[in-house]
Amino acid sequence: MLSPDLIKWIKSVNNNEQPYKAYFDVDDVFQLHFPDRHKNNVLTTPCGEIILLFQKIGTSTDIKFTHLVTPINDILYEERDKPKHHYSRRVKVIAQCLQEPYISKTDTSFKNISLGGVSQGNVNQIGNMKKVQEENLLSVIQKELYDLFLPYEKK
């Protein structure tokens, strides 16, 4: 269920193969992969809390917010067929915007927030981000993301 106060986490995803779109062709429940170096981060998000997925699509350098997902169990999966991304967690799609116009970082309260430390493939708490704390932006961001993704909510 989509609720503003449950949007607490953020994670970078990518696909290095054409058409450079990550998780666009998955079912409503899928394996969310993590880099091997972040194995200990895979089970960080509690079931029921929501992770915002972001990525660069195609050859664009603009960051797009594409999915809101939530973990459905606390199982660490290991898959040897994914180079450098052997670990995953089963998640359920809460909402997804997979067509243009995408939800762009520059059109949100994230526009002046660096996602540099978040871009390594681990999940991070939005409320722990320095600028979010300094400017007391967590509830603003949560409400904004809720409003932006609400038309794309899975029923």
Residue type, position 22, single letter: A
Q: Is residue 147 part of a domain?
A: no
pLDDT surpasses 90 at 155: no
Q: Is residue 105 part of a domain?
A: yes
CATH number at residue 101: 3.10.590.10
Which tens digit of pLDDT belongs to each residue from 12-67?
998 877 788 999 999 999 999 998 888 899 999 999 999 999 999 988 889 999 99
Residue type, position 64, single letter: K
Confidence (pLDDT) at 119 = 66
Which tens digit of pLDDT belongs to each residue from 91-137?
999 999 999 999 999 999 999 999 887 767 889 999 999 999 999 99
Q: What is the number of domains present in the chain?
A: 1
Q: Is residue 154 part of a domain?
A: no
Name the residue range of residue 72's domain: 4-139
Which tens digit of pLDDT belongs to each residue from 32-42?
999 888 889 99
Strands of the chain, DSSP E: 7-12, 29-34, 50-56, 63-71, 77-78, 87-96, 103-104, 124-125
The enclosing H or E element of 148 equals helix 138-149
Confidence (pLDDT) at 19 = 81
Degrees, nearest 5: CA angle 72-147-121:
45
Report the predicted TM-score, pTM, of the whole model to 2 decimal places: 0.94
